[in-house]
Amino acid sequence: MTAMDRTTLRLADGRVLDLRTAGPAGGDVLVFCHGTPQSGGLDGVTLQAAIDRGLRVVAWSRPGYSTSSAQPGRTVASFADDAREVLDQLGVATCIAAGWSGGGPHVLSLAAGLPDRVRGVAVLAGVAPYAESQGSLDWMAGMGEDNILEFGAAMAGEQPLREFLGEVGPVMATIERDDVVEAMATLLPDEDRAWISGDFGVDLARGFREAVEVGIEGWVDDDLAFVAPWGFELGLIEVPVAVWQGSEDLMVPAAHGPWLASHVAGARAHLIDREGHLSVVLGRVGEILDDLVSLGRA
């Protein structure tokens, strides 16, 4: 299995990012936005599918995750500013991008903020905006209990969220594959549990451990950013967007997918029956990437 190179990239404001890259140096660049909580290290299934298609994968741990410097008060929109610096430093003129779960909002920020650099994006089981969807989406309906508690704490404010994640963080800091199903029992339908027992479960647990290796700052800031205004308007996005969502998802409920697809102009919706948060991506990652490559050529 191909490994990702790991380096540190320093930004103009002095912060550093935990940067991961893999794939052919001359390949079309795929920027991948990780979930919440995770790190910039992709799972082997997704990484291999990208490399098989000749893509060069570029990913980084968002501020506060892994060894990336924290950025208190960051918004979803601010992710695009970091991305522009990363692309500039790597000499990348344009790219395609995908974001899974908590990476979904951030990949949309690239479509909104970097239309000159990003040719197409895929939102993979991505969360819809809370503030902007009030009155048109029952945002937590269909979520597993653990996420209801987590986002309920985020809506209550930074301190309640810190208290909640302060209890969960140590669990994630030592989690192994065999612990994942029990730790995430309310969030995993059968369609997703089937993927945990293999190599993906090892990669998922590693990503959890890396995410909190220096603390919970990234997780806190992600959750607060999700429930605050994102800082850009979905309806003004002009970059081609594909939205992928499974009907059995307990982490990001199925209704988030069609809501996003209907609020991003021209978005291509792939709403898949009998798939969960993990299976909707892992079972068709090649199809997703092929579709994204075609979007980037449109």
Give tens-digit pLDDT for 200-239. Answer: 999 999 999 999 999 999 999 999 999 999 999 999 999 9
Does residue 7 sit in helix, strand or coil?
Answer: strand
Cβ-proximal residues to 289 (8 Å cutoff; 6+ apart), any chain: 30, 49, 50, 53, 55, 98
Q: How confident is the model at residue 92 (pLDDT cuts 50, 70, 90)?
A: very high
Q: Say which DSSP state 234 is in.
A: G
pLDDT, position 287 = 98
How many CA atoms lie less than 13 Å away from 213 in the CB half-sphere? 18
Give tens-digit pLDDT for 95-123. Answer: 999 999 999 999 999 999 999 999 999 99
Angle at alpha carbon of residue 76, lines to 74 and 80, rounded to 5°: 95
Q: Supply the CATH number for residue 89's domain.
A: 3.40.50.1820
Find the domain containing 116 and state its range: 5-297
Taking 90 as the threshold, does the pLDDT of residue 2 lie above it? no
Give tens-digit pLDDT for 50-64. Answer: 999 999 999 999 999
What long-range pairs does 133-138 form, CB within 8 A, spacing at least 24?
133/259, 136/259, 137/255, 137/256, 137/259, 138/255
Question: Domains in the chain: how many in total?
Answer: 1
Q: Say which DSSP state 62 is in.
A: P
